[in-house]
Structure 1
Amino acid sequence: MKENRWMKAKSGLLVLLAAMLIAGCSGGGSPSEGANAGESGQDRTAQSEDGTKLRVYVPSNVEEFPAGTNLNHNEIAAYIAEQTGFDIEWELQPKENPDQKINIMMASGETPDLIITPSKDIYANLAQQGLLAPLGEALEQHGPRIMESVPEETWQAVTYDNQIYAIGVPQNQKSTFGMLVRTDILEELDIAIPKTLEEYDTAMRQIHDKKPDLIPYVGGAANNNGNAFGYIESFAGAFGLGAEYVVEDGEVVHTYTQPYAKDFLAYMRELYADGILGREYPVNKSANIQEKMISGQAVMTTAGWVDAKVITEALQEKQPDAKLELIHPPVGADGQFGYEQRTPVRVYMIVPRASAKVNEVVKFINAYMAEDVLKVVSYGWEGEHYTVKDGAIVAEPAAEDIRYRIYYQLWDSEENFVNRVTLKGFGPYYFPLTEFPTYTNIVQYAPPIATVEENAQTLTDLRNEYFIKIISGALPLEAFDEYVSKWESLGGKESLEEIRSWYATVQ
């Protein structure tokens, strides 16, 4: 039996925080000019009483700013400055290789005061290198809203060497992936909507026989979000591979080296050999998969809820009668199905040690978390950008003018996230998937573990190489045993032992 919920640590993080004695930080990077930094004299509308300025480095997005505005010169940025009392210089991370840019900045010492990143790798690596400022004392003194809002499991994940080096923003969403299917084609071929792995197998083979010009299932080995299986996660979950490190019968196991991983590879290898899994699986990326679904070349794929909306709307523009639905992922012989649950940390707020403004950063975040600020950043202003009807938030046309507010969403709640999902029309794609994240990757709840972090990329590359080659037939199925042996010798065995040692401390 897989245990899909992590057992919380018995020792409270409040006790840990109270016990911390943290040395003051020194030094500081000077602000640098950057893209979207705003025009001098136009991008500041409010300051703290002592004139404190903060450089805040936020992830990029696709939204654009209306004419006459930019990242530092707009009504949302002005409102945040006014309400928090801080003079903020907002900076955007690049769309490509943002982690690389952060590493370069950290190495140079020319750093922002606050970096927002979704990357646990960035947090873990920088914490282990001693490049982050400890936050415990500042949180105790200046972060009451933060302390009340962050659950213990999130604090556990951002604690390294008995110090807190990040403010972890708790997860705000549940859904991940789903099986997106052209149900109009199933109806045309008189095929019932499948649920079990056996039913899926039968359905895909019938599609292949009756419509040989179609790809029954399109997947890819290069998933943009770093998942091991690249859009074949739906089938992995049916074999017990929904997450890499899980707890089975009270012990942490590495699923990708278990016998059922070999069963999964044997099954996918057969689908590929028989033409059921698209022949371009080894090279397909997200864009390729979307194109094949939108052009009508493929019948099924694994899709996230955002991609599902994009694919559905684009296909129906071309083929108004086409019908795409998110259905239950395959259920395996042991009743297993689904995907990895969201991590306990949505994003990491980190303060470079080179910044001398730890207290100010914590004060800013704590002020930012006021209900009025969070509401404006999420929806705009009532009466102009939204109204409330029967307790529900209804977007007004003017809300389209401030779509750029996504850049300022440093903190979030599940309630606000769900409201935005509904307002933006993603509800039919998000809500059906909430029951499918059934696997817990236990490592996501652990603080950075040096051995695990050091070996992670090597082991991931090894796994991807063998799994892709075995599925595509470039290696025989028996090569799985060679993979397991290499995984153990290249640090896998040591990493698993370290994870088990950590897990023993939280029982």
Structure 2
Amino acid sequence: MKKKLSMMLAMIIAAGTVSACSGGSNKPENSSGGQTSQKPAQTEGTGQAGAEEPLKFSMSITTSGNAHVEQSPDINKDKWVLELEKRTNTDIELTTIPLKDFDSKMSIMFASSSIPDVVQNVGGATDKSMAGSVQAGVFMPLDDLLKEHAPNIMKNVTQAAWDEVSYDGKIYGIPNWLSNPSRRATFIRKDLLDKTGLPLPKTPEEFLDVIRAFKKLGVENPYQLRMDFKYADLFFGPYDALGYQFMQQGDEIVPKFFDVENMTNALTMYKTMYDEGLIPKDFATLNVSTYGESINGGKAGMWTSNAAGLLDFRTKIKAVDPNAQVEIIPSPVGPDGLSGYGLYSSVITSLYINKNVPEEKAIRIIKMLDWMLTDEAKMFFTFGIEGENYTIDNGKVNYKAPTNSEQEAEQGFRGMLGFISDATINRMRMELLEGGQDVLDALDQTLAKEGVGGIIFIPDLETFQKYPDLASKRPDQAPKIIVDHMVKMIYGNEDIADWPKVIEEYRKKGGNEIIKEATERFNNQDGVVSQESRKQ
């Protein structure tokens, strides 16, 4: 799960973390949706002379794999931390936790007697890294304080996100959330589609026909598949056969690969592509680097990736083929109206306030976090300091965008300091980029209508640790034992008709224990998130 979140964090840092624009006569047009312009830590002002004393508190945060953070000799003296403190009238003692060691470092922290006033987690309230701290009463419930002092947060955070930061009916965390957990998209070389003369495909069969037509055009990899079916589950989604999700079958909660008919239909599509040379023959060992090289080298006709990568794909592919046209299209719609890929969790990171923090101090912390959703804050986290990082001319932002990796990491860290935001996409920056509106349209119009949900458990099932080869890996990988059989069937070494035998093997090797735990937790509603699929 941490690997998934690491990938998501890296992607979000690259794409940005804040949405909406600023208002006012010397600001860009207001698109904040009526955010309350409440100032943090005091009734009026943000640290001017005569205001309250700066709010002092300690806080642990993840580095999110950001180089600017991890290479800093003292993050508390960082320019952007100091600027944040100035704007919020705060004095924050930050402690950073490397993402690669996050779970173990969090466990050590909770085992000690030194827990900061505010703790940032990667994930929700009951995630593994929280080490049962919420259940043990380490943090205070926030329902009443949020309702009274955080109008922007209460207005904007989705119910799905609240569910993931709650325990026993009470809110304990304040999330950095995804308003749209459908992030993966189907990409196509539109110039190649035009050459085929075929219309935009809709059903799995029509998609297969387009992929076949790409083969006739001489495209090396008509559909770009890669190992473990990661970012390659084009047909598992529409047939509701995503092997990392759970569903209810009779009185049991079982993995979705228990649906023999759906798995048979999906596997048949992949075997057809393999037999007809529509996917790489070595897909079972094809790693992410080779996958990317093929796409960026103009060798693929269709592929799956995060929507935020559209502009990068366009730039790299046009460099080798100036006539290339890369677009995001609606994913294939299955017989039951399902389309798209697995939905992500709705929470990226979340903040928790130590129960020992005095109430008045907790109120000021919450007010500061609520300020992060105002137009003023969004301008700061997105663009930096006016006159230094950007100017505004006739209501338009002129932003000095990063020109190297160091500057990109610094920009990413500034965005990370916006601890509370809709992390789906940085709309303000995206709107400034050529083609940026295409990315926003893909998220708002295409991906908003697709995405396959299921039953997920947070934290993961404990039996996954006992049977790692039987453990699913959200958000994109079925258990190893299942992937191995899928590959063998596509290569023709096993018969797809024998899928019931695979299910039987899964049960015998420990699957029954996994199913028993999943069913018990579902019945007790213990760390269960039920995501609804979006049907066409």
Q: Which range, TM-score by smaller chain?
A: 0.7 to 0.9
Indicate the residue corresponding to 1:76 in structure 2: 80
CA shift digits 1:372-415 (9 cap, x unpaired):
33442233345654566787x63433787762412312111479
1:133 Cα offset (Å): 5.0
Residues 1:221 and 2:227 aligned together: yes
Distance across 2 between alignment mates of 1:456 and 1:363: 46
Q: Contact 2:464–2:514 at 8 Å: present in 1 too?
A: no
Distance across 1 between alignment mates of 2:459 and 2:72: 44
Q: Contact 1:195–1:328 at 8 Å: present in 2 too?
A: yes
Identity fraction in percent: 19
1:313 Cα offset (Å): 0.9
Indicate the residue corresponding to 2:191 in structure 1: 184
1:310 Cα offset (Å): 1.9
Indicate the residue corresponding to 1:287 in structure 2: 289
Distance across 1 between alignment mates of 2:100 and 2:85: 29
Measured at CA, do residues 136 and 63 of structure 1 come closer, stay the same or move farther in structure 2, by a change above 3 Å?
A: same
Distance across 1 between alignment mates of 2:130 and 2:290: 34
Indicate the residue corresponding to 2:447 in structure 1: 436
Indicate the residue corresponding to 2:235 in structure 1: 235
What is the one-letter code of the residue matched to 1:169? Answer: N
Q: How does 1:242-261 map to 2 (within 5 A)?
A: 244-245=245-246, 254-259=255-260, 260-261=262-263
What is the one-letter code of the residue matched to 2:442? Answer: P
Distance across 2 between alignment mates of 1:186 and 1:440: 26
CA shift digits 1:79-106 (9 cap, x unpaired):
3213434322344443645445544554
Q: Give the alignment partner of residue 471 of structure 2, picking from 455, 459, 468.
A: 459
SS at match of 2:59: strand
Indicate the residue corresponding to 1:418 in structure 2: 427
Distance across 1 between alignment mates of 2:104 and 2:286: 24
When structure 1 is superposed on structure 2, of 244-253 and 52-61 the one drifting more is 244-253
Indicate the residue corresponding to 1:88 in structure 2: 92
SS at match of 1:238: coil
1:293 Cα offset (Å): 0.7
1:55 Cα offset (Å): 3.2
Indicate the residue corresponding to 1:144 in structure 2: 149
Residues 1:116 and 2:120 aligned together: yes
Distance across 2 between alignment mates of 1:251 and 1:389: 61
Q: How does 1:379-390 map to 2 (within 5 A)?
A: 379-382=383-386, 385-386=389-390
CA shift digits 1:34-70 (9 cap, x unpaired):
xxxxxxxxxxxx99848734133134355759x9997
Measured at CA, do residues 468 and 414 of structure 1 come closer, stay the same or move farther in structure 2, by a change above 3 Å?
A: same
SS at match of 2:331: coil
When structure 1 is superposed on structure 2, of 266-275 and 139-148 the one drifting more is 139-148
Q: Contact 1:374–1:411 at 8 Å: present in 2 too?
A: no
Residues 1:481 and 2:500 aligned together: yes
Residues 1:492 and 2:515 aligned together: yes
Q: How does 1:2-151 map to 2 (within 5 A)?
A: 49=53, 52-60=56-64, 64=68, 71-94=75-98, 96=100, 98-103=102-107, 105-106=109-110, 113-120=117-124, 123-124=127-128, 126-128=130-132, 133-137=137-141, 140-141=144-145, 144-145=149-150, 146=153, 149-151=156-158
CA-based RMSD: 4.3
Indicate the residue corresponding to 2:345 in structure 1: 343
Distance across 2 between alignment mates of 1:497 and 1:83: 48
Distance across 2 between alignment mates of 1:101 and 1:302: 34
Q: Which runs of 5+ in 2 are unaligned?
A: 1-48, 473-478, 531-536
Measured at CA, do residues 423 and 334 of structure 1 come closer, stay the same or move farther in structure 2, by a change above 3 Å?
A: same
1:304 Cα offset (Å): 0.7
SS at match of 1:429: helix
Query: Normalising by structure 2, what TM-score?
Result: 0.69
Distance across 2 between alignment mates of 1:427 and 1:363: 37
Distance across 2 between alignment mates of 1:479 and 1:129: 45
Indicate the residue corresponding to 1:17 in structure 2: none
Q: Which runs of 5+ in 1 are unaligned?
A: 1-45, 223-228
What is the one-letter code of the residue matched to 1:428? Answer: D
Measured at CA, do residues 334 and 477 of structure 1 come closer, stay the same or move farther in structure 2, by a change above 3 Å?
A: same
Q: Contact 2:54–2:89 at 8 Å: present in 1 too?
A: no
Distance across 1 between alignment mates of 2:96 and 2:135: 21
When structure 1 is superposed on structure 2, of 452-461 and 469-478 the one drifting more is 452-461
Query: Normalising by structure 1, what TM-score?
Result: 0.73
1:127 Cα offset (Å): 4.7
1:120 Cα offset (Å): 4.7
